[in-house]
A and B are shown apart, each in its own frame.
Chain A
Amino acid sequence: GQQLNQSPQSMFIQEGEDVSMNCTSSSIFNTWLWYKQDPGEGPVLLIALYKAGELTSNGRLTAQFGITRKDSFLNISASIPSDVGIYFCAGTTSGTYKYIFGTGTRLKVLA
């Protein structure tokens, strides 16, 4: 099925470092979501974005809805070991229930 291009695919970082990941689409989206999936669990919603240019924070996480409406970014500041997991972006166009999911960014934090 159709998927978003999410990068990087995986990353190792030192504890305390900041992390950036992004998602790009060939289609214009009206909603962007960012999820985190811990090993053996289902994805958990982190941040939802509904407006182009919107910048939203949730603790150490900040996500932005790209101005072109074809991309979104997630930043994690001062990473800690529990940030380990897979981060997924998801997007949808207005009036539809079908979300398209990215392939995920696998984050590993070295203490």
Chain B
Amino acid sequence: GAGVSQSPSNKVTEKGKDVELRCDPISGHTALYWYRQSLGQGLEFLIYFQGNSAPDKSGLPSDRFSAERTGGSVSTLTIQRTQQEDSAVYLCASSFPKETQYFGPGTRLLVL
């Protein structure tokens, strides 16, 4: 399809393990965002990529969180040494610069 895709759709992991979440943005979109949505909450900004510029990492909650975007397209959000409070839905969105964002379906992460 032509929309934003994310994988896996669901992930269950044990506390202390590392996880990788993947986002495939809409083709041609140079801007990519990661958000976290905790149960019953709004969207919390995590990180923003735009073209070849340095990413805005100001929303990452701790140094256990990191993200990469390879070749200006696919992005991976990595959470190291997961904690139970990391359980949430992780949403990816893409857009043309400063234009409206289109979201993927999210990855539901459960840390046991």
Q: Which residues of A contact B (CB under 8 A)?
A: 1, 3, 6, 33, 35, 40-45, 48, 88, 90, 95-99, 101-104
Known: A42-B105, A97-B50. A33 touches B44 (CB 8 A): no
Nearest CB on B from A23, distance (A): 11
Residues of A within 8 A of B4 (CB): 42
Known: A102-B42, A104-B42. A42 touches B104 (CB 8 A): yes
Instruction: State the majority secondary structure of interface residues on A.
Output: loop
Q: Which residue of A lies closest to B91 (CB)?
A: A42
The 10 sampled A-B contact pairs (Cβ below 8 Å) are: A42-B103, A42-B105, A44-B103, A45-B100, A90-B43, A95-B98, A97-B50, A97-B97, A98-B56, A101-B43
* Contact status A103-B42, CB under 8 Å: yes
Residues of B within 8 A of A88 (CB): 42-43
CA distance A64 to B49 in the complex (A): 30
**What count of chain B residues pass the 8 Å CB interface test?**
26
Residue interface bits B97-112, CB-to-A below 8 A is 1, else 0: 1101111111010000
Q: Which residue of B lies closest to A42 (CB)?
A: B103
Residues of A within 8 A of B105 (CB): 40-42
CA distance A6 to B100 in the complex (A): 20
Closest 8 CB pairs of A and B: A42-B103, A101-B43, A103-B42, A101-B42, A43-B103, A42-B105, A42-B106, A42-B104
Residues of A within 8 A of B35 (CB): 101
Check B59 for interface membership: any CB of A closer than 8 A: yes
- Contact for A103 among B41, B59, B100, B106, CB less than 8 A: B41
CA distance A41 to B100 in the complex (A): 18
